[in-house]
Amino acid sequence: KLRSPRVSIEQIKNLHNRFTYLTQDEDTLRREHLENISNLALNPIRRQIIEAFFDKRNMGEKEKGCLQEIGFEEFVTVLSFFRPPKPRTADEEMKNVKKEKLRFLFNMHDTDKDGIITLDEYRRVVEELLSSYETIGAETAKAISDAAMLEVASVTVGQMGPDEFYEGITFEQFMQILKDVEIETKMNIHFWNLDTRTMQCGK
Amino acid sequence: EKEDIYIDYCGMFILVLGLLVGSLMPLGGAASSPDTGTGHGGSHGNKDPGYAKNGNGTTYSKKPFPVLSFDYEHVRLPFEISLWVLLASLMKLGFHLIPRVSSIVPESCLLIVVGLLVGGLIKLVGEDPPVLESKIFFFYLLPPIILDAGYFMPIRQFTENLGTILMFAVVGTLWNSFFVGGLLYGVCQLEGHKLAYVDLLSCLLFGSIISAVDPVAVLAVFEEIHINELLHILVFGESLLNDAVTVVLYHLFEEYSSVGLITVTDVFLGIVCFLVVSLGGIVVGAIYGILAAFTSRFTSHTRVIEPLFVFVYSYMAYLSAEVFHLSGIMALIACGAVMRPYVEANISHKSHTTIKYFLKMWSSVSDTLIFIFLGVSTVAGPHQWNWTFVVATLIFCLVARVLGVVGLTFVINKFRIVKLTSKDQFIIAYGGLRGAIAFSLVYLLNPEHFPMRNMFLTAIITVIFFTVFVQGMTIRPLVDLLAVKKKQETKRSINEEIHTQFLDHLLTGIEDICGHYGHHHWKDKLNRFNKKYVKKCLIAGERSKEPQLIAFYHKMEMKQAIELVESGGGSKLPSALPSTVSMQNIQPKKPSQDRALPQLSKAREEEIRKILRTNLQRTRQRLRSYNRHTLIADPYEDGWNEMLIKRKKMKELEKKMNNYLTVPAPPPDSPTIARARLASDPQAWGLKSVTESIPTIKVDLASPQSPESVNVVDEFSKKGSQPKEEEGGLTMKVPSPAKQRKDKTPDEEPQQRLMRCLSDPGPAAEEEDEDDPFLPQKKSW
């Protein structure tokens, strides 16, 4: 299940060291372990990042829900979403890689797991992004998320009568509006490529 | 078709005009020789004959007062400069009027040809054509182009590819210099008698001069082919950063060529010098950039001179770097890049536009002049043609470039996520154009130390001509042939911006979880430092606390609002939103709440709703633009806080407006909005015709569309106006009460207002501020 052919033994060993460090030698990782990372506390979207590790949808399973604790396998599975594609990847395969990464992002936004990002959920995303700036009121976050939603609806659906209600962003629409962002090249962590000695596992 | 022919003739005419202007140069030169005294003679010969006879004892004969005289020497220099600039601009104008030519041949080629023609003309007349003096080039012509490039440099792409760019700039240029220099020396030795006097150091010097990719030429050609951003930033970044290498190598070889020997110490010192030159240049630039940012913080009362600070500080950075023989180009780039985010947050919108257009104008004129002068200098310059040398130079340059790019890419691709394909490599190699910097550097050489200077000059001009003409002309069809990705013209959407930021934080978080201190971690630290300390110092007022997302959102809204205005009002929506989706579709349906008002029968409600909806559709389209107009009220001039207050009021207003046809009189303290809405949308008057087809709308304000209507009812019941009055209150109907409202006190009854509206003869014919409907009425706030 671990898609190991694309990951080297060296990298797995390093990740395991990190995993053990985080869980303080226990077998499973819980939310508190991740919350203890000091650098992560400064991140405005830490809650969503932590949740992503415990989201069943990211484990390749069809069921929805959250786990309370995860093992090393799940840890690496989530991290593998940030693996850069191999240099000689065919276009078809590249599209799949992009779709996977976008699916990960989508799941992060879709907190109630119904397959649609509603206005409220999107608003919460923008609020979290702006949460590190104390002076910004909720009104501005609302305005931005409204404008963003409007844009998605305009671009993807186009014509809507005044009566119709736009439920929310589906995954296909999500893929459509972010097709220019080049996720497959941006959403990567370099440690998969470089010498794993650069990882400060001791800290 | 007649139009095309007409435009072609116009283009030809302007070109001819330009050539005539150009030919005035030699005449100007010739005119300086006759003395100015002769001009006086003719006009007064017969007027006062008595005076001329007065010659007996007096040595002084009073000349009559000269009515008209000719004194060219007086204004010679500025006159000639202006003539050149005029020539350059007319040429540019002419080329663009003839579309067929300008689509095949890049502008730079045409300009060089013009330069050749003008130079030829001047020589025919017998005068000496002016040469592109290095001082003029380096102090006046080059800085605007570099500043323009540096100020508008896309920082994000630049820093992402910095490693690659540095590799190409430093290692690539070194490789090129030594390869070309060394092989040329070998050729010179082999050739025998004519070239044997060229020693190794001179060859290396020549190699270092000619191997530098020229930013002016690259910009001129690449801008026309609209290539994708990655390639553009790679080649362009390389051309900028190799300046440091060129400076060091040039000075190193020039210093020691007279001695003829370089030791290991010298090489070591050269490396140290390189670090000092590049880092020193950047530091000098950064210091001036911070000074400029700091100064711009206090310019809120003197908006007019804001652009001046940007220009002068940058120019000072360049000159200061040149004082210490540091890299002036890097200083200029660093200054522009450092000051830009802070200055843009501080200055007014108009200053921003001014800076942009001035920089574009100056760099465009400089660019044109440089190429024309290059042509003229070719005709003028002392030449010494040597077949072997020139051909060898050309071949070695090309070969060195190709080998260098291929070799470096092989190494670089090991470290890149987005690998450079062979198509990319070809474009990078092919885009290595040489230009005027190389020419000027050779021109600076002292002929006594370098007897082969003329030969170098000839060789360099040949290489420049080859790269600009052959490579410049063929790169466009090659780009099409190879199907290289072009620049995407898509607008930046708010969704993309949100997700870019989201991704940044996400990747930083993942890096923290893995304990990996990578690229994102440090970038995040830098951003936090910037936000906490730097922004507070350098940005005035509230803007210092503004997150990037909000700044982006406001910029976007401004842009859309301006577009809306320019497209003639609300009837034509900007092309970005060609849909009928509006806010109404997005708001979740609110559950019906208990109404504190008497209920209507269902049928009645339905009927009213249907009527209102039919009309609301059109109104909503226009009113949707409502929100954005408010931002046109020059928010950055008036202060941030005021703007936030205004927006809050706007939002509340929009909620009410969206829900019914009979727009109640807006709160009295917002005449701006009403005037903005009305003045920008002449079609709003059309609503009048609609109402005629509908039976009298007895708008019972108790018929709610949404719970918000409750607010309005309350408001009006407080003020005691009767619902019936509202019928006439289609404020869309009459403009004048809205406009006149600006002079009224806030607690005027809406009733009285409406009475006036009905009895008013009509809008005043002249409204003084029709042209500028969006300026806020300061007193009303």
- Predicted confidence at residue B713, as pLDDT, reads 37
B142/B146 Cα distance (integer angstroms)? 6
Could B582 and A150 be called an inter-chain contact, meaning their C-beta atoms sit closer than 8 Å?
yes
Mean of pLDDT values over B521-530:
82
User: Is residue B89 assigned to a domain?
Assistant: yes
Q: Which residues of A touch B511 (CB under 8 A)?
A: 189, 191
Instruction: Using CB atoms within 10 Å of the CB of residue B752, give its burial: 0 to 12 exposed, 13 to 18 middle, 19+ buried.
Output: exposed
Same domain, B52 and B165: no
Query: Which of B103, B124, B154 is at the close of a domain?
Result: B103
Q: Is the residue at B433 inside a domain?
A: yes
In a domain, B266, yes or no: yes
Quick: pLDDT tens for B601-621.
666 767 777 766 666 655 554
Confidence of residue A28 (pLDDT cuts 50, 70, 90): confident
Question: Is pTM beyond 0.80 here?
Answer: no
Out of A42, A165, A181, the one facing B589 most closely (by C-beta) is A165
Q: Which of A45, A191, A200 sits opposite B502 (nearest CB)?
A: A45
Task: Name chain B contacts of A148, Cβ cutoff 8 Å.
Answer: 494-495, 498
Q: B196 with B308, same domain?
A: yes
Q: What distance in Å separates the CA atoms of residue B566 and residue B625, rounded to the nearest whole number?
A: 13
Closest by CA to A182, choosing from B227, B425, B418, is: B418
- Of the three residues B457, B482, B507, the one that is the final residue of a domain is B482
- B602 in a domain, yes or no? no
Whether A43 has its CB under 8 Å from any CB of chain B: the answer is yes
pLDDT of B284 higher than 90: yes
**Is the Cβ pair A151, B580 closer than 8 Å?**
no
CA closest to B652 among chain A residues: A139
- pLDDT (tens digit, 9 = 90+) per residue, B99-117? 777 777 888 888 898 889 8
Left (φ > 0), alpha (ψ -120 to 50) or beta: where does A60 sit? left
Same-domain status, B319 and B448: yes
Which CATH number goes with the domain that contains B193? 1.20.1530
Please check the confidence at residue B24 and state whether its pLDDT lies above 50. yes
Helix (H) or strand (E) holding A70: strand A69-70
Whole-angstrom CA distances from B295 to A80, A146, B292, B628, B736 are 48, 37, 5, 31, 45
DSSP H helices, B539-601, are: 548-566, 583-586
- Residues on chain B touching A119 (C-beta within 8 angstroms): 586-588
Same domain assignment for residues B283 and B356: yes
A180: pLDDT strictly greater than 90: no
Among all residues of chain B, which has the CA nearest to that of A136? B546
B154/B625: higher pLDDT: B154
Can you tell me which residue has the tokens 């020589």?
B123
Q: Choose from B415-424, B546-555, B766-775 the range with maximum mean pLDDT.
A: B415-424
Q: How distant is the Cα of B738 from the closest Cα of chain A, in angstroms?
A: 28
Tell me what pLDDT residue B81 has.
86
pLDDT classification of B301: cutoffs 50, 70, 90: confident
B648·A181 Cβ contact <8 A: no
Establish if B337 belongs to a structural domain. Answer: yes
Q: Do A162 and B584 touch (CB under 8 A)?
A: yes
Q: Which of A66-70, B552-556, B655-659 has the lowest mean pLDDT?
A: B655-659
User: Chain B contacts of A161, Cβ < 8 Å?
Assistant: 580
Nearest CB to A140 within list B550, B577, B580? B550
pLDDT of B122-142, one tens digit each?
Answer: 888 887 777 777 888 899 999
Selecting from B517, B550, B581 the residue whose C-beta is nearest the C-beta of A200 gives B517
User: Pick the residue with more confidence: A167 or B440?
Assistant: B440
In a domain, B724, yes or no: no
Query: Are B286 and B329 in the same domain?
Result: yes
Predicted confidence (pLDDT) at residue B692 exceeds the cutoff of 50: no
Residue at B218: amino acid letter? V
Q: Considering only B62-76, B444-458, B696-710, which range has the smallest mean pLDDT? A: B696-710
Name the residue among B503, B505, B507, B528 with its Cα closest to residue B516: B507
Residues 6 or more apart whose Cβ sits within 8 Å of residue B453: B442, B445, B446, B447
Enter the tokens of residue A142: 């609302």
Backbone angles phi, psi at A69, to 5 degrees: -150, 150
Q: How many CB pairs under 8 A join A and B?
A: 184
- Number of Cβ within a 10 Å radius of residue B58: 8
Smallest CA-to-CA distance from A89 within A10, A8, A184, A190 is with A184
- Please check whether residues B145 and B91 belong to one and the same domain: no
User: Residue B598 above 70 pLDDT?
Assistant: no
| A135 interface with B at CB cutoff 8 Å | yes
The residues with which A169 forms a beta bridge, in sequence order, are A117
Domain assignment present for B522? no
- Residues B248 and B331 placed together within one structural domain of the fold: yes
pLDDT of residue B665: 44
What band does B550 get if pLDDT is binned at 50, 70 and 90? confident
B389 and B262 share one domain: yes
For residue B742, pLDDT over 80 is answered with no
Under DSSP, the state recorded for A55 is B
pLDDT of residue B179: 92
Average pLDDT, chain A: 76
Look at residue B586 in the predicted model and tell me its pLDDT.
63
Q: How confident is the model at residue B58 (pLDDT cuts 50, 70, 90)?
A: low
> Residues B693-723: pLDDT tens digits?
344 443 444 444 444 433 333 333 344 333 3
In a domain, B580, yes or no: no
| Candidate ranges B485-499, B613-627, B725-739; pick with highest mean pLDDT | B485-499
Percent of chain B with pLDDT strictly greater than 70: 64
ipTM of the shown complex? 0.89
Q: Quote the tokens at residue B149.
A: 């490039």
pLDDT tens, B646-688? 666 776 666 666 554 444 444 444 444 445 444 444 444 333 4
Domains (ranges, CATH) in chain A?
1-84+188-202 (1.10.238.10), 87-186 (1.10.238.10)
Choose the closest CB to A139 out of B514, B521, B651: B651
Q: What is the CA radius of gyration of chain B?
A: 35
pLDDT for B418: 77
What is the per-residue pLDDT for B2?
67
Chain A nearest-CA distance from B489, in A, is 11
Tokens, residue B22: 């150009």
Question: Using the beta-carbon criterion (under 8 Å), do A177 and B493 form an inter-chain contact?
Answer: yes
Choose one of B436, B454, B482: the last residue of a domain.
B482
> Which one of A12, A51, A121, A140 makes the best mutation probe of the B interface by having the most chain B beta carbons within 10 Å?
A140
Rounded-to-integer distance, Cα B57 and Cα B59, Å: 6
Best B229, B414, B492, B514 member to test A by mutation, with max A CBs in 10 Å, is: B514
Over residues A155-183, mean pLDDT = 76
Q: Do B581 and A150 touch (CB under 8 A)?
A: yes
Domain count, chain B: 2
CA–CA separation, B278 and B276 (whole Å): 6
Using only C-alpha atoms, what is the Rg of chain A? 19
Q: What is the pLDDT of residue B568?
A: 64
Interface with chain A: mutation pick from B160, B230, B417, highest number of A CBs within 10 Å: B417
Contacts of B410 (CB under 8 A, 6+ apart): none
Tokens 């932590």 sit on residue: A50
The half-sphere exposure of B532 on its side-chain side, counting CA atoms within 13 A, is 7
Mean pLDDT score, A141-145: 77
Looking at the structure, tell me whether residues B94 and B143 fall in a common domain.
no
Say if residue B354 is in the same domain as residue B442.
yes
Percentage of residues in chain A having pLDDT higher than 70? 81
Are both B435 and B298 inside the same structural domain? yes
- Whole-angstrom distance, CA of residue B287 vs CA of residue B266: 30
Instruction: State how far the Cα of B472 lies from the Cα of B432, in Å rounded to an integer.
Output: 10
Mean pLDDT of B554-579: 62
- The whole domain housing B44 covers 1-103
Cα B758 off chain centre by? 51
- In whole numbers, what is the pLDDT of chain B averaged over residues? 72
pLDDT band at B489 (very low <50, low <70, confident <90, very high): low
B494/A151 Cβ within 8 A: yes
Q: According to the model, what pLDDT value does residue B377 have?
A: 86
B518–A190: do the CB atoms touch at under 8 Å? yes
Nearest-by-Cβ selection for B519 from A45, A155, A190: A190
Note whether B379 and B435 are same-domain residues: yes
**Are B549 and A129 inside 8 Å of each other by CB?**
yes
- How much is the pLDDT for B583? 64
Return the sign of the alpha-carbon dihedral for residues B587, B592, B595, B597. Answer: positive
